[in-house]
Structure formats: structure tokens, C-alpha cells
Amino acid sequence: MERILTVNNSLKSVQHKKTALYVLIVYIIMQVSGRWLLLPFHKFVMNTTGLSHEQAAPITQGWYIALSFAIALILSLILTTRDKTFWDVYQGKKESIPLTIMWGVLGFFLVFFGQMIGAAIEMAVFGIEGGSQNTADIVAIAKGAPIAILAIVVFGPILEEFVFRRVIFGSLVQTTNFWVAAIVSAIFFALIHFDFSHILLYTICGLIFAFLYHKTKRIWTSIIAHIMLNGFVTLVQLNAEPLQKFLEELQKMQ
């Protein structure tokens, strides 16, 4: 009986590794696919709409981001659904659903304040001004093609949590320890955003997301926090001008 259990656990481990590898491959293909597919898609949009290159660019990028993230997420869901024990990274009881949601909401505030601390460090030590070019570019695309908001706020966070928290962190934490797994996954998470001046901010986010997953043993905790963070940043950025005018009017009234 003991030998049978050992063999079964070994087979499950191999299956987990295959699933993790397939999800990672899907994510990598999605990231690099724009090099080959974005230009033909851009020409297709121009030909079908009659728009100029400049007018079609944000529409093309917005729709491409939305579609590529959606397809990658669907494929990842299919892969992980087929492996029934893929999410059983930790032994023991998982946190209850209400506490999972509570930690997810709390995690949003932890990440938000963590970013504030990181921004202060960047400014004090490295002289890096606030504001992310990566965020600005994405928001500009969202303004041109609102469909991209789905990818920014929903598809992207879920897919990134699958890859960086379950595939990378979840694989490493089973053979090393929390800190090694969290730091490695957080650094990869930071690098993939290609905003190297703010790598500290993204690394802090990655560490907190890993902590939330580790704390509750449920990936939905970090997903909730990640969606709330991206949603908040997108909402603020899309309404930056009205908010600025409101604050100016508020100052005049004082």
C-alpha cells in the first residue's frame, strides 16, 4: 500500500510539473506573439476601418491585448482544470472563502502602501520620480480601445497569478522555502513588466502577492488583491484630469 501511494504521489508530481510547464509556455507565447501577429492585425484593422496608422494604433493594440490575454487565460484554465490536484501546493486546510476574500481586500491595501514605501525609497535613494511609463502606455491604449480594460483589470491579473504565484512560486516553495520562492517569483514578475526604473515597486507587489497566496493557501487571495490594484490604478489614470480639476476646485474653496 505504501509503495502504491509513493508511486501515485510521484505521478501527480510529474503531472503538476507538466501542467506548470504548459501554462508557462502559453504565457511566453502570448508575450512574444505580438512580434509576429501585431503588425498583420494592425493592417487588418486599418483596411477594414479606413483609419490612418496613428488612429488605428491604439485600437489595434487594445484589441490585441484583450484577445491575446483572453486566449492565454482560457488555455491556462483548460490545462489546470484537467489536472485536478494542480492547486494542492500546500498540505493542510485552506483558508475559508470569507477569510480568503477578506485577505484579498486587505492585500490590496498592503500592496498599495507597499508601493508607497517603494516609491519613497526610489526617490530618496535613486532619485527616481513617481509615475510608471508602462502604466501610462497601457492606460493610453485603454483610452483608445476600452476593451483593453478587461485585459488590464481582469484577464491579466488572473493569468499573472497563475504564472508567477502558482507556476513559479508554487513550484519553488515545495522544494525550497517561502523567502527563496517569493523573491525569485517577485523578481521575474518585476522583469516581465519591462519598467526597469520601477523594478523595486513591482518586486514589492510580487512579494506581497506571494505572501497572500502562502497565507491562505488559495490563489484567489492574490488574484483579488491584484485585480483590485489594477482596477484602482486604471480608474485613477483614466480619470486623472477630472480628479485634478476636482482637487483644484477643492483647494479654492478652502
Average pLDDT over residues 209-232: 96
Report the chain's mean pLDDT, rounded to a whole number. Answer: 87
Q: What is the pLDDT of residue 186?
A: 97
Average pLDDT over residues 27-45: 90
Least confident of 1-15, 31-45, 112-126: 1-15
| 187 has a pLDDT exceeding 60 | yes
Cell of 187: 523578481
Q: How far apart are CA 191 and CA 128, in angstroms?
A: 17
Nearest 5°: the CA angle 84, 86, 87 is: 105
Mind telling me the catalytic residues? 160, 193
| 251 has a pLDDT exceeding 70 | no
The DSSP-derived string for 124-174 is III-PPS--HHHHHHHHHHHH-TTHHHIIIIIHHHHHIIIIIIIIIHHHHT
Average pLDDT over residues 24-34: 94
Average pLDDT over residues 189-210: 93
Q: What count of other Cβ atoms lies within 10 Å of the Cβ of residue 25? A: 12
Q: What count of other Cβ atoms lies within 10 Å of the Cβ of residue 75? A: 18
